[in-house]
Chains A and B, each alone.
Chain A
Amino acid sequence: MSAVGNVASSARFAGIAARRADFPALHQEVHGKPLAYLDSAASAQRPQAVIDAMVAHERRNHANVHRGVHQLSQRATDAYEGARERVSRYINASGSDEIIFTRGTTESINLVAASFGKMRLEPGDEVLVTWMEHHSNIVPWQMICEQTGARLVAVPITHTGELDLEAFHRLLTDRTRIVAVVHVSNALGTINPVQDIIEAAHKVGAVVLLDGAQATPHMRIDVQALDCDFYALSGHKTFGPTGIGVLYGKRALLDAMPPYQGGGEMIRTVTFEKTTWNALPCKFEAGTQNITGAVGLGAAIDYLSGIDFAEVARHEADLLEYATERLSELPGIRLIGTAAAKASVLSFTLGDIHAHDLGTVVDMEGVAIRTGHHCAMPVMEHFGVPATARASFALYNDRGDVDQLVTGLNRAAELFL
């Protein structure tokens, strides 16, 4: 790395130090080393503003929502619905009634599979997924296919970890009812050409669900511009809390769909003869929801709204390039997933060192990475590895984190190779 390059990059990313300061968890030592948190794809850290919003809500405003006439219930309802409004504006839904709060991406997908899938799928129909899906975008479809007699079809991926688009177009037929695709792959970082996928799917009359869990931390989403039918995302990948997520759905589809779970909140009237459903979005929110979680997600959206994603994209692209370059110098390194369009995720193996040993050794250097199959066993099968190590970079990481990772990997190489 030349001195000139360092100066240029530090000038370009002058905002990074300030951004790091927003995330208290980053400023600690692990095993006597400064923490290099490179596991944001598993769960991102939260800015102080998110923590503060949740604490303030818990301390002053907690009550059940949509229930009481008292002051606290009103405040809690305002906070909860305010969060829904923020999400709606942030992803450019056509209205906040298209935003369903769930426990996370997994529940969002399960909701669509159980409700829309049950309503729509018949024997002989097909659900199209891909080989790079997270298990949460495979298993719910497998389950509903088993119940309805529909068939689950998977689009293969190439040796670089990109979708085989030729195969996609071949497998997309007039039998395809649902196309469920990951926007950004958690195991490979691949950014899929979702716009083209959506257009092609709509031409055969299929609806499209995008698993956006890994996309929202890296880019602004505009669901109307994408014209996707469903979009699923998680709070905790998006610098918010765990236990809260979102399902966006087009109003007409959500309106036609039967409820997912029964209970309070989702009903209009209940008698023992007949129950009528509440309007959107409450129809899909049975029971008391994760109110504080929604407040935290709302605060995360506020935080992200103040961020220039073009700058984040440049910063993350620089980190990915730097990390790719530094790791490529290591003897025995194999990068898994080298797509042209890629988010800042680096999956790799080092010699024949098992990923878990790598994870433990770099942890001793203060570096947090994910090791294992990343809930994407078909991806591991495709690349013929039992597991990989994965470093994922978020808007708060810097080149120092990469250097620390390389130090840790060198240590692992000394020990095992």
Chain B
Amino acid sequence: MNELQELYREVILDHNRQPRNFGEIENADRVVEGVNPLCGDRMTLYVSLDGEQVRDIRFTGTGCAISVASSSLMTEKAKGHSIDELRTLFDRVHEMLTGDGTEADVDLDEMDKLAALSGVRAYPTRVKCATLAWHALIGAISGSRDRISTE
């Protein structure tokens, strides 16, 4: 696998071409806007909750392949999970995207499709493209903020 294919894995290209859960949710419980001021990436995340459970989650916006694929993969993974589970998942994804990779601190097999995002670790300028959706997720399930910025 060459360097580019390591970053732009088939899963990422696929989710960029056909983002899952793309669109709005009417009367969503939580709506969070995420921006990456550096790139101009912009996404809006819609979350419907069933108590502590994410019943539905969708997103809209524009961004690079990494950012769109990350949003798509995130929504796919988050649906049906509890807020607590998603907090744990966030920590692990964050570690996977930003960790130095010297320790096997994240079991990539367990991450399933999300492991495809791990290629950004080698591209410090692109890490924020991948983390934007996840910060938006945390903002949404915490209900504390309605605007998330990577800067």
The reply to whether A360 and B126 form a contact with Cβ atoms under 8 Å apart is yes
Interface presence of B28 (CB below 8 A):
no
Residues of A with C-beta under 8 A to B16 = 416
Asked, given contacts A354-B63, A386-B62, whether A364 binds B3 with beta carbons under 8 Å apart, the answer is: yes
The listed residue (A361, A373, A380, A386) touching B4 by CB distance below 8 A is A361
Q: Separation in Å of the A385 CB from the closest CB of chain B?
A: 9
The reply to whether B13 and A354 form a contact with Cβ atoms under 8 Å apart is no
Compute how far the CA of A393 lies from the CA of B39 in the bound complex, rounded to whole angstroms: 22
The reply to whether B66 and A386 form a contact with Cβ atoms under 8 Å apart is no
Interface presence of A59 (CB below 8 A):
no
Q: Which of A323-361 contact B (CB under 8 A)?
A: 353-357, 360-361
The reply to whether B40 and A380 form a contact with Cβ atoms under 8 Å apart is yes
Q: Look across to chain B and name the residue whose beta carbon is closest to the beta carbon of A380.
A: B40
The reply to whether B64 and A354 form a contact with Cβ atoms under 8 Å apart is yes
Q: Separation in Å of the B135 CB from the closest CB of chain A?
A: 18
The reply to whether A387 and B7 form a contact with Cβ atoms under 8 Å apart is no
* Interface residues contributed by chain A, number (CB under 8 Å): 19
The reply to whether A386 and B13 form a contact with Cβ atoms under 8 Å apart is no
Interface presence of A243 (CB below 8 A):
no
Asked, given contacts A416-B13, A416-B65, whether A356 binds B8 with beta carbons under 8 Å apart, the answer is: no
The reply to whether A354 and B38 form a contact with Cβ atoms under 8 Å apart is no
The reply to whether B3 and A354 form a contact with Cβ atoms under 8 Å apart is no
Q: Look across to chain A and name the residue whose beta carbon is closest to the beta carbon of B37.
A: A373
Interface presence of A372 (CB below 8 A):
yes
The reply to whether B8 and A415 form a contact with Cβ atoms under 8 Å apart is yes
Q: Which of B79-137 contact A (CB under 8 A)?
A: 123, 126, 129
Q: Look across to chain B and name the residue whose beta carbon is closest to the beta carbon of A355.
A: B64
Interface presence of A31 (CB below 8 A):
yes
The reply to whether A386 and B40 form a contact with Cβ atoms under 8 Å apart is yes
Q: Which of A352-404 contact B (CB under 8 A)?
A: 353-357, 360-361, 364, 371-373, 377, 380, 386-387
Residues of A with C-beta under 8 A to B63 = 354
Interface presence of B30 (CB below 8 A):
no
Residues of A with C-beta under 8 A to B58 = none
The reply to whether B13 and A415 form a contact with Cβ atoms under 8 Å apart is yes
Compute how far the CA of A284 lies from the CA of B98 in the bound complex, rounded to whole angstroms: 44
Compute how far the CA of A387 lies from the CA of B4 in the bound complex, rounded to whole angstroms: 21
Residues of A with C-beta under 8 A to B62 = 354, 386
Compute how far the CA of A387 lies from the CA of B8 in the bound complex, rounded to whole angstroms: 20
Asked, given contacts A386-B62, A415-B13, A416-B13, whether A356 binds B126 with beta carbons under 8 Å apart, the answer is: yes
The listed residue (A357, A373, A380) touching B64 by CB distance below 8 A is A357
The reply to whether A373 and B40 form a contact with Cβ atoms under 8 Å apart is yes
Compute how far the CA of A367 lies from the CA of B129 in the bound complex, rounded to whole angstroms: 21
Q: Look across to chain B and name the residue whose beta carbon is closest to the beta carbon of A373.
A: B40
Q: Separation in Å of the A377 CB from the closest CB of chain B?
A: 8
The reply to whether A386 and B7 form a contact with Cβ atoms under 8 Å apart is no
Compute how far the CA of A320 lies from the CA of B4 in the bound complex, rounded to whole angstroms: 29
Q: Separation in Å of the B78 CB from the closest CB of chain A?
A: 23
Q: Look across to chain A and name the residue whose beta carbon is closest to the beta carbon of B68.
A: A354
Compute how far the CA of A371 lies from the CA of B125 in the bound complex, rounded to whole angstroms: 12
Q: Look across to chain B and name the residue whose beta carbon is closest to the beta carbon of A417.
A: B17
Q: A199-231 toward B: CB 8 Å interface, digit per residue (1/0)?
A: 000000000000000000000000000000000
Compute how far the CA of A373 lies from the CA of B38 in the bound complex, rounded to whole angstroms: 8
Q: B12-24 toward A: CB 8 Å interface, digit per residue (1/0)?
A: 0100100000000
Residues of B with C-beta under 8 A to A361 = 4
Q: Separation in Å of the B121 CB from the closest CB of chain A?
A: 14
Q: Separation in Å of the A111 CB from the closest CB of chain B?
A: 26
Residues of B with C-beta under 8 A to A372 = 38-40
The reply to whether B65 and A387 form a contact with Cβ atoms under 8 Å apart is no
Compute how far the CA of A372 lies from the CA of B42 in the bound complex, rounded to whole angstroms: 13
Residues of A with C-beta under 8 A to B126 = 356, 360
Q: Separation in Å of the B128 CB from the closest CB of chain A?
A: 10
Q: Separation in Å of the A390 CB from the closest CB of chain B?
A: 14
7 new A-B contacts, CB < 8 A, other than A31-B3, A357-B64, A377-B40, are: A354-B62, A356-B66, A356-B126, A357-B66, A371-B39, A386-B62, A411-B4
- Chain B residues within 8 Å of A, Cβ to Cβ: 3-4, 7-8, 13, 16, 38-42, 62-67, 123, 126, 129
- Pull 10 A–B residue pairs with CB atoms less than 8 Å apart, ordered by A: A31-B3, A353-B65, A354-B63, A355-B64, A356-B39, A356-B64, A357-B64, A364-B4, A411-B4, A415-B4
